[in-house]
């Protein structure tokens, strides 16, 4: 009989054989516990659940996984493969039964496609999808093994128990869906809902309440290995879907703002900001909001779970959060790239929840309205002592003066007013102006290069 103790011993022995010590594995379990919304102290409980799940399931039926790679840079697979313990081979062999993955499977070609077919036919599997689906040119924008991506997804989904969308491209089309989106990139949830509505998709397990497979959206670019593994642990081993929010994202991971857990948050509240890379303010680790940080608008537990074996994460490494978790599977054309670019510029308005806040207000003094908004959003600001000791504020930012229609603060005017004042109205227009000027300059230098110098002309004439 397999007792809890023998399960753990056998599981540890399996890990040991693969060079993973119990201590290192417990560290990894701590990361999973945090991603599952538990305390890191729950690591031993996660270890126990994994041991029981893996040993129990390998003796019975381990739910198979099909990993489809659509239009992607393979960053999510790379990200998973860099998870330290267990390494990807351990994950593949012990935690999940990965029957098909173009990048990770040792097999290839017809035998691999046959393994996928057998898995689909047998049912009871999970599909993990990396990358965007391309609908363009009647689905010919993406073909794998001579099959359209659209048909591959419908076919793999029709008998699946659940679908995990790994990374923002699978959630909302991501980079591929950025305007003008010529290949017709789309997220998996939107595609299946559309296919269901037009009658081109039927889910074999539809039960009257649900007519497409449960979808678990796990954004960020790439996906965080701890997030993916925590979800797979929930689905495959614990046998349940994680609690999901309205965007079908695990709520324990994606229901908290980056800003709320950011170590630079104190500087934000003090009005201490970085306005230029390489500045004294940057060396002091001040808040990166003016450099385009999307932390206040982005929900993910990145500051807690972190990246690269929990070493660091974007803001701690000195880069503003680019908002890559801002994927929205329900709004076509509202993908995180279009929404958040240019990455190193501020949004017109800083939003905390639904309340627009101007960061200058925070440093200079709190108005009743803003203070009330901040209290409502429980950001815990102290009202006193915020006006002294912070970075100096410019009365009017140079960028705001130049782009009044996109400014925040006193320089802000309506687009019509900016046009009437004869200023470049938007960044797009300014970029267009710059491109025209650059093209004219290039044209000029080309014609200069082809014309012989005046002196030579004169010489040639004399001869
Ligand atoms: S704006 Fe960005 S850097 Fe500043 S506190 Fe918020 S998340 Fe951190
Ligand atoms: S901190 Fe922001 S940019 Fe970095 S991974 Fe998290 S959501 Fe993406």
Site to substitute for ligand 1 among 259, 272, 363, 381, most atoms within 8 A of C-beta: 259
CA distances (Å), 219 to each of 93, 324, 385, 399, in order?
A: 25, 7, 39, 32
| pLDDT at res. 378 | 29
Q: In the chain, what percentage of residues exceed pLDDT 90?
A: 32
The enclosing domain of 74 has a CATH number of 3.40.50.700
| 324 pocket-lining for ligand 2 (C-beta < 6 Å) | yes
Banded model confidence at residue 389, pLDDT cuts 50, 70, 90: very low
Whether residue 368 sits in one domain with residue 291: yes
pLDDT in tens, 23-65: 777 877 777 777 666 777 878 877 777 677 665 555 445 568 8
Whether residue 221 sits in one domain with residue 85: yes
Decide if pLDDT at 339 tops 60. yes
| pLDDT at res. 388 | 35
Whether residue 134 sits in one domain with residue 181: yes
| pLDDT at res. 251 | 92
Whether residue 157 sits in one domain with residue 9: yes
Phi, psi (deg, nearest 5) at residue 403: -125, 65
Average pLDDT of the chain, as a whole number: 76
C-beta of residue 134 within 8 angstroms of C-beta of residue 184? yes
Decide if pLDDT at 217 tops 80. yes
Whether residue 275 sits in one domain with residue 134: no
pLDDT in tens, 237-250: 666 788 899 999 99
CA 257 to centroid of ligand 1, rounded, Å: 10
Whether residue 250 sits in one domain with residue 265: no
Phi, psi (deg, nearest 5) at residue 398: -60, -40
The enclosing domain of 358 has a CATH number of 4.10.480.10
Place of tokens 């017109």: 348
79 alpha carbon, closest ligand: 2
Q: Calculate the CA dihedral of residues 444, 448, 451, 452 and round it to 10 degrees.
A: 170
CA angle 228, 231, 232 (to 5 degrees): 85
Q: Which of residues 202, 234, 254 is at a domain's end?
A: 254
| pLDDT at res. 39 | 73
Instruction: Count Cβ atoms within 10 A of the Cβ of residue 168 and give its class: 0-12 exposed, 13-18 middle, 19 or more buried.
Output: buried
Whether residue 161 sits in one domain with residue 274: no
pLDDT in tens, 177-204: 988 898 999 999 999 999 999 999 999 9
Whether residue 266 sits in one domain with residue 232: no
Cα 316 from Cα 298, distance rounded (Å): 16
CA 398 to centroid of ligand 2, rounded, Å: 28
- Please check whether residue 279 lies inside any domain of the structure: yes
Banded model confidence at residue 308, pLDDT cuts 50, 70, 90: confident
CA 163 to centroid of ligand 2, rounded, Å: 23
| 362 pocket-lining for ligand 1 (C-beta < 6 Å) | no
- Please check whether residue 81 lies inside any domain of the structure: yes
Banded model confidence at residue 165, pLDDT cuts 50, 70, 90: very high
Which residue's CA is the nearest one to ligand 2's atom 5? 220
CA 265 to centroid of ligand 2, rounded, Å: 15
- Please check whether residue 117 lies inside any domain of the structure: yes
Tell me the average pLDDT across 142-171: 94
The helix-helix angle for 109-122 and 149-157 (nearest 10°) equals 40
Cα 327 from Cα 322, distance rounded (Å): 12
CA 30 to centroid of ligand 2, rounded, Å: 21
- Please check whether residue 159 lies inside any domain of the structure: yes
| 292 pocket-lining for ligand 1 (C-beta < 6 Å) | no
| 352 pocket-lining for ligand 2 (C-beta < 6 Å) | no
Whether residue 384 sits in one domain with residue 250: no
The atom of ligand 1 lying closest to the CA of 288 is 3
| pLDDT at res. 153 | 97
| pLDDT at res. 385 | 32
Banded model confidence at residue 176, pLDDT cuts 50, 70, 90: very high
Q: Which of residues 211, 236, 254 is at a domain's end?
A: 254
CA 303 to centroid of ligand 2, rounded, Å: 9
Tell me the average pLDDT across 168-182: 92
- Please check whether residue 383 lies inside any domain of the structure: yes
What global pTM score does this model have?
0.71
Number of folded domains in the chain? 3
Tell which residue, 246, 148, 242, 128, has the closest CA to residue 195. 148
C-beta of residue 201 within 8 angstroms of C-beta of residue 195? yes
259 alpha carbon, closest ligand: 1
Q: What domain range is 246 assigned to? A: 4-254
Decide if pLDDT at 161 tops 80. yes
The one-character DSSP state at 452 is: P
Whether residue 105 sits in one domain with residue 222: yes
| pLDDT at res. 369 | 39
Decide if pLDDT at 1 tops 80. no
Tell me the average pLDDT across 342-349: 68
The atom of ligand 2 lying closest to the CA of 324 is 8
CA 290 to centroid of ligand 2, rounded, Å: 16
C-beta of residue 128 within 8 angstroms of C-beta of residue 66? yes
| pLDDT at res. 372 | 38
Which residue's CA is the nearest one to ligand 2's atom 2? 321
| pLDDT at res. 28 | 74
Identity of the highest mean pLDDT range in 22-36, 105-119, 125-139, 376-390: 125-139
pLDDT in tens, 400-445: 566 666 555 555 666 667 677 766 555 556 656 766 777 888 788 8
C-beta of residue 217 within 8 angstroms of C-beta of residue 165? yes
Tell me the average pLDDT across 122-141: 92
Banded model confidence at residue 75, pLDDT cuts 50, 70, 90: confident
Q: Which of residues 254, 280, 314 is at a domain's end?
A: 254
| pLDDT at res. 215 | 96
Cα 445 from Cα 293, distance rounded (Å): 39
- Please check whether residue 335 lies inside any domain of the structure: no
Whether residue 271 sits in one domain with residue 215: no
Whether residue 300 sits in one domain with residue 243: no
CA 325 to centroid of ligand 2, rounded, Å: 6
Quote the distance between the C-alpha of residue 87 and its chain's center: 22
Decide if pLDDT at 87 tops 90. no
Tell which residue, 38, 108, 40, has the closest CA to residue 310. 40
Decide if pLDDT at 305 tops 80. yes
Banded model confidence at residue 461, pLDDT cuts 50, 70, 90: very low
Indicate left, alpha or beta for 37 from its phi (over 0: left) and psi (-120 to 50: alpha): left
Tell me the average pLDDT across 345-372: 48
Which residue's CA is the nearest one to ligand 2's atom 8? 324
Decide if pLDDT at 110 tops 50. yes
- Please check whether residue 456 lies inside any domain of the structure: no
- Please check whether residue 455 lies inside any domain of the structure: no
Lowest mean pLDDT among 25-39, 199-213, 332-346: 25-39
Residues 353-380, buried b or exposed e (16+ Cβ, 10 A)?
A: eeeebbbbbbbeebeeebeebbeebebe
Which residue's CA is the nearest one to ligand 2's atom 1? 321
């Amino acid at each position: 009989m397999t007792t809890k103790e023998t399960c753990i011993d056998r599981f540890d022995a399996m890990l040991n054989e693969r060079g993973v010590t119990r201590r290192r594995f417990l560290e990894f379990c701590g990361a999973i516990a945090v991603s599952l919304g538990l305390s890191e102290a729950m690591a031993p409980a996660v270890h126990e659940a994994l041991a029981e799940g893996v040993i129990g399931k390998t003796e019975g039926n381990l739910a198979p996984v099909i990993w489809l790679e659509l239009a992607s840079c393979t960053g999510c697979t790379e990200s998973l493969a860099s998870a330290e313990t267990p390494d990807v081979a351990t994950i593949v062999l012990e935690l999940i039964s990965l029957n098909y993955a173009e990048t990770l499977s040792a097999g290839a070609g017809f035998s691999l496609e046959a393994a996928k077919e057998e898995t689909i036919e047998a049912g009871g599997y999970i599909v993990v999808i990396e990358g965007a689906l391309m609908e363009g040119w009647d689905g010919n924008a993406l073909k794998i093994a001579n099959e359209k991506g659209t048909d591959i997804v419908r076919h793999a989904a029709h008998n699946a128990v659940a679908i995990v969308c790994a990374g923002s491209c699978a959630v909302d089309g991501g980079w591929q869906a950025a305007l003008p989106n010529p290949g017709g990139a789309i997220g998996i949830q939107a595609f299946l809902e559309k296919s269901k509505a037009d009658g081109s998709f039927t889910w074999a397990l539809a039960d009257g309440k649900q007519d497409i497979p449960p979808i678990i959206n796990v954004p960020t670019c790439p996906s965080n290995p701890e997030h993916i593994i925590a979800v797979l642990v929930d689905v495959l081993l614990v046998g349940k879907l994680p609690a999901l929010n309205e965007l079908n994202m695990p709520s324990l991971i994606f229901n908290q703002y980056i800003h709320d857990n950011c170590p630079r948050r104190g500087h934000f509240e003090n009005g201490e900001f970085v306005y230029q890379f390489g500045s004294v303010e940057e060396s002091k680790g001040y808040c990166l909001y003016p450099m385009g940080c999307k932390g206040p608008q982005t929900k993910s537990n990145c500051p807690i779970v972190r990246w690269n074996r929990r070493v660091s994460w974007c803001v701690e490494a000195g880069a503003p959060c680019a908002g890559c978790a801002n994927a929205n599977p329900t709004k076509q054309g509202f993908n995180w790239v279009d929404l958040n670019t240019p990455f190193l510029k501020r949004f017109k308005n800083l939003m905390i929840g639904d309340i627009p806040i101007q960061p200058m207000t925070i440093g200079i003094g709190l108005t009743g309205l803003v203070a009330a908004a901040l209290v409502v959003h429980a950001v815990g600001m102290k009202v006193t002592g915020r006006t002294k000791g912070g970075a100096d504020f410019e009365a009017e930012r140079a960028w705001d003066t130049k782009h009044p229609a996109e400014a925040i603060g006193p320089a802000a005017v309506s687009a019509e007013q900016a046009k009437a004042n004869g200023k470049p109205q938007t960044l797009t227009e300014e970029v267009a102006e710059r491109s025209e000027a650059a093209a004219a300059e290039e044209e000029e230098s080309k014609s200069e290069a082809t014309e012989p110098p005046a002196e030579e002309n004169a010489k040639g004439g004399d001869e």
